[in-house]
């Protein structure tokens, strides 16, 4: 499991942006408050200025078919230039790169979708904190946010988003990972949604989620001398 914390983006600019859909929307906590381009034929560019001690950038809720992510040092030298295909069902990207100790630039080129204006909900870049993957029994489900009202023998239904839910447990080394997870990250962010890579054993982007803690705060059990188990529950942000 990996958690992006802290976010170290100092500025976000766009090669184009539709009225009422500025690139500053990418820095808020709502994946449905979008940045949008202006042309259905363009390949818009988002440029991030990111502080040092950073090694990952994550994108959420884009309709692009693919993105190209170019990371450059402050000198302009290329760190990496990688092409990522976007899963239309789970349109998120977790992209790691060699850790940079000083301020650097990330350029994200959005490709497609054909015949539609490109958009994206949230972008985060910063430090990737690594923990053991969840134990067997990791639970994944969907939560329906639709409005359903039964009245006088009839049912009113307004479809809204179906969001992902995860819950499980991870083992941590107490004097390192446990306190980093619970006190460095959770205590400082509270209910603020974060960028997560739930499972790192597989490269699939399906495990990438922008989510916040629900069903009580994470709790730990110190069942062994130096190993503690943390229980967590996550709900996808929208």
CA–CA distance, 108 with 118 (Å, rounded to integer): 12
pLDDT band at 225 (very low <50, low <70, confident <90, very high): confident
State residue 110's pLDDT score.
97
**% of residues, the chain, pLDDT over 70:** 100
Q: Give the start-to-end residue ranges of the domains of the chain.
A: 2-128, 139-236
State residue 52's pLDDT score.
97
CA–CA distance, 237 with 210 (Å, rounded to integer): 6
Pick from 108, 142, 101, 105: nearest CA to 122: 108
CATH number of the domain located at residue range(s) 2-128 in this protein: 2.60.120.260
Residue range 124-141: mean pLDDT, rounded: 96
DSSP 103: -
State residue 118's pLDDT score.
97
Q: 185 phi and psi, to 5 degrees?
A: -95, -60
State residue 228's pLDDT score.
93
pLDDT tens digits along 168-212: 999 998 888 999 999 999 999 988 999 999 999 988 999 999 999
Q: Across-strand partners of 169?
A: 231
DSSP 26: G
Q: Across-strand partners of 70?
A: 81, 107
pTM, two decimals, is: 0.93
For residues 223, 228, 229 and 231, what is the CA-based torsion angle, rounded to 10 degrees? 120
**159, pLDDT greater than 80:** no
pLDDT tens digits along 79-108: 999 999 999 999 999 999 999 999 999 999
Contact of 47 with 13, CB cutoff 8 Å: yes
Contact of 92 with 58, CB cutoff 8 Å: yes
State residue 216's pLDDT score.
72
């Amino acid at each position: 499991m990996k958690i992006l914390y802290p976010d170290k983006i100092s500025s976000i600019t766009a090669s184009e942006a539709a009225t009422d859909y500025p690139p500053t929307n990418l820095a808020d906590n709502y994946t449905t408050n979008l940045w949008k381009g202006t042309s259905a034929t363009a390949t818009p560019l988002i440029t991030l200025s990111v502080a040092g001690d950073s090694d990952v950038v994550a994108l959420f809720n884009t309709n692009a078919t693919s993105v190209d992510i170019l990371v450059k040092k402050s000198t302009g030298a290329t760190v990496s230039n990688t092409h990522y295909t976007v899963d239309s069902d789970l349109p998120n990207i977790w992209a790691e790169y060699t850790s940079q100790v000083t301020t650097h630039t990330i350029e994200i080129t959005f490709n497609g979708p054909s015949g539609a204006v490109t958009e994206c909900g949230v972008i985060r870049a910063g430090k990737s904190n690594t923990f053991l993957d969840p134990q067997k029994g990791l639970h994944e489900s969907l939560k329906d946010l639709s409005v359903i009202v039964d009245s006088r023998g009839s049912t009113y239904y307004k479809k809204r988003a179906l969001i992902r839910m995860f819950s499980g447990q991870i083992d941590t080394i107490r004097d390192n990972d446990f306190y980093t997870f619970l006190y460095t990250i959770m205590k400082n962010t509270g209910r603020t949604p974060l960028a997560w890579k739930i499972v790192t054993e597989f490269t699939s982007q399906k495990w990438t989620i922008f989510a916040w803690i629900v069903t009580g705060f994470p709790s730990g059990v110190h069942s062994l001398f130096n190993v503690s188990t943390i229980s967590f529950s996550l709900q996808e942000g929208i």
